[in-house]
């Protein structure tokens, strides 16, 4: 079993056990951790992080951060992370279309690009489209 | 009839009493806030600890980078001073302590022949340094009671920008460390440049695992590069939270002292008033008696 902790600057937001953790790192694509994985440190993409346990799964939208794996302990350090049931789908949709409109008007708008990333990460988590993770 | 003196005393007692009620209320409010602030400071610790431990692992894994935040300048032309204190007074020596320490840093920078840049958190520090005619680079207010990570990121972002742009070559952080409920200490810390990752690692605090065979993605240097700004933010955030807890603890103590003083003053004034009233009564009786005697004679 893996020990999993999601830590924000303000507090530990999640802590539990899992059989597998799936996340997406910058430049490395999706990566899955199971017990016995080699020690690993990665920078996380704005995307989902999935915690797959024996008794159900948890999924988070992680807005950049780090993941550390050592001694069967996975730590996700993230400024902002939202659990699946915290995500407001309507708001994310609205933000997505706003961001798309802004990018259509000016495709070098960095703010809009990262807003789009955040919104699509949220939607992927909320609607379960971030891949099955298996 | 109440004499003039008695009336004055009665009014003073009433005013002391209402002041006491206010200070008592402030004491109670501060007492609940200090608990909350302490809790927040504790909850924020895991993040800082984890970040430190990642840096430890990175440094053990042999990540050597030249990051702008690690730049050790040969000549210090301008010293940045971050002073974290409160927006409001009535907190005993809390604000004054930070102000004094910050001013000492400022003078030290001047004697080194360097300029200074003031980055102030809290209205009170701003008031003082404005009044003294110092140049202030930026002031952040409205966050001293319960700072959020957003606040820390804003301030840290500005400071890191100034540092990487070469506007300032060194940054000192002045804040009040929350040692315990009874002890808070004004502390000056080197904020930037960061000591090399090795030194951060050696300082410890993280719970790094001894095995050094880490894999990194994208690379050790890449991880460190995006990690260092977070580390700076987390450090500032920690300082802000401790400062907030210290402010509330100081306010609680100051208000307790004020309440006790008011109580003491009330007792003293009541005694004085009773004496004055008794005197007035005695005089009146004397007058009546002597008047009656004069009539009877």
ipTM of the complex: 0.80
Just give the CATH number of B57-247. Answer: 3.40.1380.10
Contact at CB, A66 and B230, closer than 8 angstroms: yes
pTM summary value: 0.85
Low-confidence ranges of chain B (pLDDT < 50): 209-211
Residue B66 backbone dihedrals phi, psi, to 5 degrees: -105, 90
How far is A102 from chain B, CA to nearest CA, in Å? 24
What pLDDT digit, counting tens, does each position of B6-26 carry? 899 999 999 999 999 999 999
* Selection from A61, A52, A46 nearest residue A33 by Cα: A52
Q: Residue A40 is nearest to which of B53, B149, B214, comparing CB atoms?
A: B214
Closest Cβ opposite residue A27 in set B47, B50, B217: B217
Q: How confident is the model at residue A133 (pLDDT cuts 50, 70, 90)?
A: very low
Best mutation site among A29, A30, A41 for testing chain B: the one with the most B CBs within 10 Å?
A: A41
The pLDDT, as a whole number, for residue A134 is 40
The whole-number pLDDT of residue B291 equals 92
Residues in chain A closer than 8 A to B222 (CB atoms): 26-27, 43
Q: Do A8 and B47 touch (CB under 8 A)?
A: yes
Question: Out of B50, B61, B237, whose CB is closest to A77?
Answer: B50
Domain extents in chain B: 57-247
Going by the DSSP 8-state scheme, the letter that residue B8 receives in this structure is: H
* CA separation for the pair B276, B269 (Å, rounded): 10
Taking residues A53-64, report their average pLDDT.
Answer: 84
For the stretch B272-295, pLDDT in tens is 999 999 999 999 999 999 999 998
The continuous run of DSSP H or E covering B186 comes out as strand B184-192
Nearest-angstrom CA–CA distance, B115 and B105: 11
* Chain A residues lying within 8 Å of B50, measured CB to CB: 7, 68, 75, 77
User: Are B215 and A38 in contact (CB < 8 Å)?
Assistant: yes
Q: Which of B215, B221, B232 to mutate against chain A (most A CBs within 10 Å)?
A: B215
Chain A residues near residue B230 by CB distance under 8 angstroms: 66, 77, 79
Give the Cα separation of A107 and A105 in Å (integer): 7
User: Can you spell out the DSSP letters for chain A?
Assistant: -EEEEEE-SS-EEEEEEESEEEEEETTTEEEEEETTPPPEEEEEPSEEEEEEETTEEEEEEE-SEEEEEETTEEEEEESSEEEGGG--HHHHHHHHHHHHHHHHH-TT-HHHHHHHHHHHHHHHHHHT-S----
Contact A71 B209 (CB under 8 A): yes
**Contacts A75 to B, Cβ<8 Å:** 50
């Amino acid at each position: 079993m893996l020990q999993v902790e999601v830590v924000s600057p303000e507090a530990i937001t999640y802590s539990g056990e899992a059989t597998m953790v799936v996340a997406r790192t910058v430049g490395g694509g999706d990566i899955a951790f199971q017990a016995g994985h080699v020690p690993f440190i990665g920078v996380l993409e704005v995307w989902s992080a999935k915690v797959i346990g024996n008794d159900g799964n948890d999924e988070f939208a992680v807005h950049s951060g780090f993941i550390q794996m050592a001694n069967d302990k996975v730590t996700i350090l993230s400024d902002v992370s939202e659990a699946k049931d915290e995500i407001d789908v309507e708001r994310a949709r609205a933000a997505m279309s706003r961001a798309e409109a802004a990018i259509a008007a000016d495709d070098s708008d960095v703010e809009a690009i990262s807003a789009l990333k955040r919104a699509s990460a949220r939607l992927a988590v909320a609607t379960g489209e971030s891949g099955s993770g298996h | 009839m109440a004499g003039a003196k008695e009336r004055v005393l009665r009014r003073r007692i009433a005013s002391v009493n209402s002041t006491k009620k206010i200070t008592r209320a402030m004491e109670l409010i501060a007492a609940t806030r200090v608990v909350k602030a302490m809790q927040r400071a504790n909850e924020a610790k895991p993040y800082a600890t984890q970040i430190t431990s990642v840096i430890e692992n990175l440094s053990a894994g042999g990540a050597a980078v030249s990051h702008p935040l690690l730049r050790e300048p040969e000549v210090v032309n301008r010293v940045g001073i971050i002073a974290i204190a409160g927006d409001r007074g009535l907190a005993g020596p809390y604000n004054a302590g930070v102000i004094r320490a910050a001013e000492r840093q400022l003078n030290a920078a001047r004697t080194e022949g360097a300029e200074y840049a003031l980055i102030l958190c809290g209205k009170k520090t701003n008031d003082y340094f404005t009044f003294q005619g110092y140049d202030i680079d930026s002031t952040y207010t409205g966050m001293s009671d319960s700072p959020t990570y957003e606040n820390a990121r804003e301030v840290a972002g500005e400071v890191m920008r100034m540092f990487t742009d070469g506007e300032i070559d060194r940054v000192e952080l002045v804040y009040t460390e929350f040692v315990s409920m009874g002890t808070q200490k004004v502390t000056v810390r080197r904020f930037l440049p960061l000591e090399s990752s090795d030194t951060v690692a050696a300082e410890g605090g993280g719970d790094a695992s001894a095995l050094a065979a880490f894999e990194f993605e994208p690379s050790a240097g890449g991880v460190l590069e995006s990690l260092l700004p977070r580390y700076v933010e987390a450090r500032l955030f920690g300082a802000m939270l401790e400062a907030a807890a210290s402010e509330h603890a100081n306010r609680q103590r100051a208000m307790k002292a004020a309440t006790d003083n008011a109580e003491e003053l009330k007792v003293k004034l009541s005694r004085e008033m009773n004496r004055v009233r008794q005197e007035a009564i005695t005089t009146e009786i004397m007058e009546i008696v002597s008047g009656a005697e004069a009539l009877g004679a």
